[in-house]
Structure formats: C-alpha cells, structure tokens
Amino acid sequence: MAEFDVDLFVIGGGSGGVRAARIAAGYGAKVMVAEECRMGGTCVIRGCVPKKLFVIGSHVHDEIEDAVGFGWSIGQVSFDWTTLVANKDKEIARLEGAYTSNVEKSGARIVKTRAVLEDTHTIRLATGEKVTAKYILIATGGAPNHGPIVPGIEHVISSNEAFHLKELPKRIVIQGGGYIALEFAGIFAGFGSDVTVIYRGDNILRGFDEDVRKHVRAEMEKRGITIITGRTVAKIDKHGRDFTTHLSDGSSIASDQVMFAIGRHPNVRGLGLETAGVAINPANGGIQVDGWSKTSVDNIYAVGDVTHRTNLTPVAIREGHAFADTVFGKRPVQVDHATIPTAVFSQPEVGTVGLTEEEARAQFSHVDIYKTDFRPIKATMSGRDTRVLMKLVVDGASDRVLGCHIVGDGAAEITQAVAIAVKMKATKADFDATIALHPTASEELVTMRTPTARHVRQAAE
C-alpha cells in the first residue's frame, strides 16, 4: 500500500498551481488539484485577461475619433455595456474550460472544493474527505485589499465586482494609484464615464521611474481623468443609487459608483497554515519561502501571489514550473526574480524592464540617461494631443543598459522584446549598432545617441 494517497496536492487552480500540476504529472507524479472557485485563478477569471479585454474595448472610442483625420466619416455609434460583459463572460468560460481540460489531460485530478491543511501531509476537503500527500503546493493567490476600514466601506466595489456591473457608471471614484486603479480609470473613461482617481501619495505609480509617473499622469489628465493626490477616502455616504465620497481634506465627490483598488493581500486565511507549521513572512504577510519556493515545512511549497514576492502571472507560472522540475523532474531550477518586465495597461500604456533612474543611481557610480518625448506619427493626422516617452538607463562605466521605460501605444509589446536584450546584459553600443526599423516609435530606442543626463556619484571622503 502506498504511503500517501497522492504525490502532490495543489491548493489553488490558478496559473501557478496549474502549471506545477501539469509538469509534475508529466514527470509521472500522482497529482490532485483543489479549487474552490473557478479554474484559472485571478488572472484568467478576474484579472489580466478580462481586464485586457475591457481595455481593448475601451480603445475603440479613440479609434473612431482618430479615424476622421484619416478620411473616414463614421456615423452614429453606440456602446452597450451588457453586450461587452456577456461576451467577456463567454471568453472567460472558454478559457476556464481550457484550463480544466489541460489539467485533466495531463493526468492530474481536479476537485472543486476548499482544501485546508490538517497537518504537514494531510489535507481536509470541504466534502469531508481527507487526502494525504507527499508534497503540498500552496498556490491560492491574492485577494483585493480595501485597507483601513472607513465608514461606508460596504458600498465600495473592488476590481472583482467591476467586471460584473449591471450597467456602466456615469461617474466613478477610484481610490488607488497602481496597476489596477489606473487600468480601470482608463477603461471607464474610454467607455464614457466621468472618472476621479484618489491616491494618498504625491503621485501615481509608486515604485515606477519618476519620468514615467509624471508622463502617465499628464496624459491621463489630458484624457479628462481627474487625479487627486495626497488625499484618501475618509467616508462614503449612500443616497438612493448615488454616493458621496468624503476625502481626508474635507472635500467631497458625488458619483454613482465607488471602487477601491489599493492593492491585494496574500490569500492565506483559513488554510490551516498554523496547524501545519507554515510560517508567514512578517515583512509582507505572504507565505515565507526560500529560493526554491519551499516553506518552513520541508514538504510544503508555495508559489505565486500567496508568497507576495513578485505578483505577476508569468512569475507564478515560472515558479510553479521550477518547483515541478526541481521536486519531480530531479532537475533543480531556481527562478531568477531580477529584471522582470512588467506592463500597466493604463491609457497611455506603460512597459518597463530593469532599473529605474533612481534605483540605478543608488547602485551605480556612473549613470547615463537617454530620454525622448515625442508626438507619435498617428497623432500628426488624427490631431490627438498625446506624446510618447522612451527612456534608457545605462551604466556609464560598463555601458550596460540597466533599464528601459516606455509610455505610449504598444509599450508592453515593445518592452517584451527589449527585455531579452536587457536580460542578456546588452550594452548601449549594442543598441546603437542595431539598425532602426522605420517608421516606428520603437526606433527611438536605437537612435538616441546623446545622453540627456549624466550622473556621477562622488565617493565618500
């Protein structure tokens, strides 16, 4: 009789857990996956995918406006929110089916129920069944964090509910200044809503390059989005179907929807972590793991947002794959969390990889900056008042490109390709030696020859 019911039990059917389950099963492991909600996790069901579909849909309004400058005469148009939501739901259901099918094809078994750790090798299912496993992988992701409780917080929606609203809000207040807040600000504004963004810091996109932060804010404000910084929401009052949002400075804003998007927290509650002895990282509230994604318990691992390391879907996938390779493929693989490209699908779009100017100047004695800000070719005909930002951060001593930051149409697509060069430690000379692809916005990355700034850190005396 086998010592354990399964070789691997995965808690969570999101991107990281699914990848780990499939790869482990491919190595011959007996695998079970528990998912209490829907297969696909945050990204597929209530995150990246539906958000990107909404972003694409919200761009259509701009395309219609821009078409006039290119000779198109477009008559009366209309937008139906319920059609968008229904079509999005169909696509998400299709993807959920694909995730489920791919796991089952790999030979792993899915149980649609909640799973809780009873000890280091035993999992108790909500059905009452108990399963023993040689290894356990926790991949339960994250959940919206509303922050400090304020009066009227029960009236607030998160990004989860935003995907299922019955109607498009005419006026919406969004608290937050990061990925989710700015992406939804652009989405709602694109569909015609009056949008106000409230952020507690001095500027949006904390942690991004300062030039990116300034550029994105200016471009969003050009689009009619109101951005209020240095304040927070103190209280929300409901009046029938309308809301009054009271801010920390005593001012107030009327709207018919209020959304909080101030971050996400690791989904660690009620998993039985304490019972099994799995430690929480006191610095970030996520499950504490080492470089191999191993927790404080030798046979229990964790990947993805639940660790609160780098909360990006491709990172969770890479971590899940590396875990399966290491534990079941007998091929030790550690994930390199340095130089991870990321995008904000705000409007304008942001793509970035590597160090910001501030980070580079803190780490390197000589830093050269190459930066350009220009009107894209499309805007010369459409008449739209918009500008593109491109910036390279270079180690002045070695000539290595340390970071690339782009704001404008296609920023994410461009950054994915540039990330390969940055990861390979390409130099500015390598960029300069690459012939430009004309006419494109991205050719600026290989034609910027003169530094816009040079920083030299003086040695301490």
What are the residue numbers of the active site?
438
Tell me if 244 sits within 8 A of 252, measured CB to CB. Answer: yes
Note the maximum CA span of the chain.
76
The H or E element that residue 265 is part of is strand 264-266
DSSP-derived secondary structure for 2-61: -SSSEEEEEE--BHHHHHHHHHHHHTT--EEEE-SS-TBHHHHHHSHHHHHHHHHHHHHH
Reading the block at residue 201, the tokens are 């810091």
Separation of alpha carbons 103 and 96, rounded Å = 11
- Omega prior to 376 cis, within 30 of 0: no
Pairing of strands 130-138, 300-302: parallel
Tell me if 197 sits within 8 A of 177, measured CB to CB. Answer: yes
Reading the block at residue 219, the tokens are 């471009």
Does the CA dihedral 282-286-288-289 come out positive or negative? negative
Reading the block at residue 404, the tokens are 């690339």
φ, ψ dihedrals at 48, nearest 5°: -50, -50
Residue 172 β-bridge partners: 195, 257
